[in-house]
Amino acid sequence: MTNVHSLYPQKYRTIWISDIHLGTRDSKVEFLQNFLNSVECETLYLVGDIVDLSAMTRGFLYWPQAHNNIVRSILGKAKSGTRVILIPGNHDDMLRTHQGEVFGNIEIKRTVIHETRDGKKLLVLHGDEFDSMLKCPKILEWCGVISYDILLLLNRLYNKLRLRMGKPYWSLSSYIKSRFNNANKHIEMFETVVSDYAIKRKVDGVVCGHIHQPAMKVINGIQYCNDGDWVEHCSALAETNDGKLSLLYWTDTNQRSTPQKAPTSNAVSA
């Protein structure tokens, strides 16, 4: 773990972010804005659920200036030479009808195969494509959605209190979820299903989002990477100029990152 304080942007070859959920009160835009201001990259992947269009269509209109600033920052990077690729998720799936098109220098694609500097091929997708394989009874699904909304509300209130006490952000919702076996089993099932699909696509690894659980691990020979979210964990996946992958956590506004190195090829399969 390292702390990085710099007046200059940290440069990466590639950055993946997802699940920002702009348009909702739980989006941690203050951390994301600091992150975007503090990094530069050749390619920026937006791996789904960037704007929560589904919440807006349900009448939950919430769009403060800070959310608009995030969009402007991303468009600014695209205009300044960063290749920006948007892969819509289930909360902004209306954009999937525009795959193959370019808006404001942002390319919209359904999936992408990214090649790292050292030649590894990574399949990039959001991850909701596999929900049908993990379906639970409808009543349990509804209970899960309601419970998650309550967790996010508690997380928001708890961190407002921490801020007043001068303490840094800490994800209460993530901690509570980690204590439930059913949530952990669902995550493990998702990771396995996604990795199995990557094997069928004959790639070296996969990068996804969707389940709001950042991770880097080797599963059955596949490098599984989940870039996490900007609702609970404030995380991104990054590739350095020599092809190394790491998870970055950006949970304060003082340009702090805590990279986690990707497992080597000798890592034990999950």
pLDDT at 268 over 90: no
pLDDT value of residue 68: 97
Query: Domain range spanning residue 43?
Result: 10-134+181-261
Q: Is residue 224 part of a domain?
A: yes
CB atoms within 10 A of CB 225: 25
Dist. CA 120–CA 117, nearest whole Å = 7
Dist. CA 248–CA 250, nearest whole Å = 6
- The whole-model pTM stands at 0.83
CATH code of 122's domain: 3.60.21.10
Contact 67, 22 (CB under 8 A): yes
Both tokens of 222, joined, read: 């596949």
pLDDT at 17 over 90: yes
Q: Is residue 145 part of a domain?
A: no
Q: Is residue 267 part of a domain?
A: no
What is the mean predicted confidence (pLDDT) over 148-164?
81
pLDDT value of residue 267: 34
pLDDT value of residue 55: 78
pLDDT at 266 over 70: no
Q: Domains in the chain: how many in total?
A: 1
Render pLDDT for 65-112 as a digit per residue (tens, 0 to 9): 999 999 999 999 999 999 999 999 999 999 999 999 999 999 999 999
Give the pLDDT band of residue 213 (cuts 50, 70, 90): very high
pLDDT: which is higher, 151 or 253: 151
Q: Is residue 266 part of a domain?
A: no
pLDDT value of residue 164: 87
Dist. CA 243–CA 171, nearest whole Å = 30
Query: Which of these, 60, 64, 122, 113, lies nearest to 91 by C-alpha position?
Result: 60
Q: Is residue 159 part of a domain?
A: no
What is the mean predicted confidence (pLDDT) over 193-219?
97
Dist. CA 22–CA 236, nearest whole Å = 16
Give the pLDDT band of residue 269 (cuts 50, 70, 90): very low
Sheet with 112-115, side-by-side order of all strands: 112-115, 121-124, 205-208, 222-226, 215-219
Q: Is residue 37 part of a domain?
A: yes
Give the pLDDT band of residue 152 (cuts 50, 70, 90): confident
Q: Is residue 232 part of a domain?
A: yes
pLDDT: which is higher, 165 or 223: 223
In Å, what is the CA distance from 119 to each residue of 113, 115, 122, 212, 236? 11, 6, 10, 28, 21
Q: What is the mean pLDDT of the chain?
A: 85
Q: Is 28 helix (H, G, I), strand (E, B) or coil?
A: coil
Q: Is residue 34 part of a domain?
A: yes
pLDDT value of residue 159: 83
